[in-house]
Amino acid sequence: MTSSSLSKSSSISNIKDGEKGEKKVYDLISLEVPRLQGLLLRSTLFLCENHYLKNSFLSSLYTKNKMTLISQFNLNLPPTFYPIVDISNQIKQKQQQNKTEFIFKKYLATDMLHDKDLIKYFQSKNSEKNLSSSDQSLDNSNKHNNNNNNNNNNNIMIVENSILNYYNLYSSGKITPNEIANYFIECKNHSDEQTPPLKAFIKILEDDIKSQAIASAERWKSGEPLSLIDGVPISLKDEIDQIGYHTTCGTTFLEKEFPEVKTQDSGVARMLREQGAILVGKNNMHEIGISTLGYNVHFGFTRNPYNLNHYPGGSSSGSACSVSAGLNPLSIGCDGGGSIRVPASLCGVVGLKPTFARVSHGGIFDLCWSVGHVGPIGSSVIDTAIGYACIAGRDSADPQSVLAEQYGGKPTVPMFTEIPLIQPLKGLKVGVFYDWINDCNIEFKDSTYKCIEILKEQGAEIVEIEIPNLLVTRLSQGAIILSEMNSSMKRFKNHCHELQYDSRISLSIANILPTSDYLQANKIRTYCIEQFTEIFKGVDLIVTPTNAIGAPEIEKGVLSSGESNFGTVGELMKYIFIGNITGIPGITIPVGITKDKNLPIGFQIMANWWHEDLLLYTSYVLEKNVNFKGKPQYYNCPLTNYSNNQ
């Protein structure tokens, strides 16, 4: 159901929006669940699955963590099962009230992929940057090569891991896609040979990579590259179909259930291939995408390139890790409950969760069909915008993406070369719910306030807002995603004991969720859509930290059997769930580093449905002014290897 069919006179009897003094509006609380590993993890799993004990144990856990608030939430609204929202009435109301919208230059996303002015602009910027930074080459080499055993030459200039740098090198004839394919394979293999191994990928097919590179090299040789990404190594989360690979979703049993490799690309893989990308393989992920920690006991614990003893975040852990480590400048992930934004934030890269259905779900494994989104993780805002331009838009294999284009129009992106140098955000209204953003680690809070100040300096107006009932919204998001994942996995019940312990515990919780709670959670989704429709009448954007804490540490005792850590996961998702239950788009960019453990800090920007272009515009301005200078502990880029061999 879309918002166009929602009753405008629907009553919400227990809501007291903004009534001062009667009730504190901010109501999020931490989850009361201990960190489980080793014997405690196995004992808890026994209680969750034992026929005689599971009902009483899981019911107490359900009650203790306030899940009963879902059924107690008194409202009279229809359910919304898919958040595909028509905002045309909202736009008309603004026009009738003479409310001015923030205006900036933009063009169709597909036009960006062939924009010669963009290429020339960044070529000139790169030339200026190289000249001004030539005296810093020693520092830059130390920055990325301290863990690269292949090369210790401190006088080598590091080439930035970006799509435009690949394009520049190809167009100048300094390197070919064939050479890059070989360098990528070397870098990926090296990343898994070190201690501890990076484990960013579940599988790569070397012959397939080289075959794609040969075709790309021929196009470059004839002067006919297909787009900006022709010959660029791009990876896919192993939830996305790609010809020649199995789609495992991080499990061991899906390959047994479907022994034949895929003979057809997903919609996003096809779109990338049509633009000339070299699809380099399947990224590792948290099993069935059920946690934002990002580990996998079957294919190895993916490591955070900024601190190898910490989690990368998940569930698109390998995607964010491979971009952060320089292996490839762009990856495509999936986000059902923060699974693009959380790992991108923890790994110090950019992650965009588009509006629900803006990117095709054709050929995506059906894990969480009403909260899942597909989107890019890139080394910069520009790379992320290019990735979005490649994959956004209608796909006949996904009817929802066709409906999305009817409601949101064809996807557009900013004309980055036309962004004003002075006060580029003048007229932009940015919403801040201060009680919410204050509820995080002090370093994350400080970084968030610095970003808000930068937005203000660049011309934005900061508007204080309030968002009531965040707790029941978060609980509803959890109920929806767990119910849908549980439904997806029921057909594989004969393999349930092959799942990780944490997956089995989460699915056991899902088993006790009443069907009535799933229905009620979707009614609460309707409330949330109406609530944010009202909020976006007064502001253009909403900003928060991306996470409340930094990347958790990987303790030695968890490597064999993993862990269940709902409390930490809740802190990682504290600012995330709104985007999934309502379908509004959100982006995270890196803005700082923790002082003690070199862990990235992310800043999240959320916009009205279908306004990814505004997210990219604002995050580009912020990225330029924040000037993030994080230094990964492990970095090994194919372009660096090329530079080292010159």
Nearest to 589, CA basis, from 368, 358, 350: 350
For 17, other C-beta atoms within 10 Å of its C-beta total 12
DSSP secondary structure of 30-88: ------EEHHHHHHHHHHHH-TTTHHHHHHHHHHHTTTTHHHH--------SS-----H
Contact partners, residue 385, CB within 8 Å, separation at least 6:
112, 378, 413, 414, 416, 616, 620
Out of 291, 315, 447, 508, which one is annotated catalytic? 315
Contact partners, residue 343, CB within 8 Å, separation at least 6:
292, 294, 312, 313, 314, 315, 316, 317, 319, 320, 321, 333, 351, 377
Nearest to 176, CA basis, from 143, 140, 222: 222
Nearest to 88, CA basis, from 609, 615, 584, 614: 609
Per-residue pLDDT tens digits for 353-363: 999 999 999 99
Out of 106, 188, 199, 237, which one is annotated catalytic? 237
- pLDDT value at residue 136: 41
Contact 417, 409 (CB under 8 A): no
Contact 394, 363 (CB under 8 A): no
- The ranges of the chain with pLDDT < 70 are 1-23, 125-159
**What is the Cα–Cα distance from 410 to 575, expressed in whole angstroms?**
28
Cα angle value 570/575/576 (rounded, 5°): 80
**What is the Cα–Cα distance from 400 to 2, expressed in whole angstroms?**
11
Per-residue pLDDT tens digits for 4-33: 333 333 333 343 344 444 568 999 999 888
Verify whether residue 105 is a known catalytic residue: no
For 596, the token pair is 């003690």
Cis peptide before 315 (omega within 30 of 0): yes
Verify whether residue 266 is a known catalytic residue: no
Question: One-letter amino acid identity for 603?
Answer: F
Per DSSP bridges, beta strands 330-335 and 233-237 are parallel
Where do we find the tokens 């301290």? 146
Per-residue pLDDT tens digits for 536-554: 999 999 999 999 999 999 9
- pLDDT value at residue 155: 35
Nearest to 481, CA basis, from 247, 285, 250, 290: 290
For 544, other C-beta atoms within 10 Å of its C-beta total 26
Instruction: Tell me how far CA of residue 165 lies from CA of 120, 174, 225, 522, in angstroms.
Output: 12, 11, 15, 45
Where do we find the tokens 């479907």? 258
Contact partners, residue 416, CB within 8 Å, separation at least 6:
118, 121, 382, 385, 620
Out of 191, 235, 322, 339, which one is annotated catalytic? 339
For 91, other C-beta atoms within 10 Å of its C-beta total 13
**What is the Cα–Cα distance from 530 to 89, expressed in whole angstroms?**
13
**What is the Cα–Cα distance from 636 to 328, expressed in whole angstroms?**
10
108-149+160-469+534-638: CATH, from 2.30.30.110, 3.40.50.740, 3.40.1180.10, 3.90.1300.10:
3.90.1300.10
- pLDDT value at residue 129: 56
SS3 413: strand
Verify whether residue 315 is a known catalytic residue: yes
Instruction: Tell me how far CA of residue 620 lies from CA of 299, 353, 382, in angstroms.
Output: 35, 16, 7
Per DSSP bridges, beta strands 412-414 and 350-353 are unpaired
Where exactly are the structural domains of the chain?
108-149+160-469+534-638
Nearest to 332, CA basis, from 290, 270, 415, 407: 270
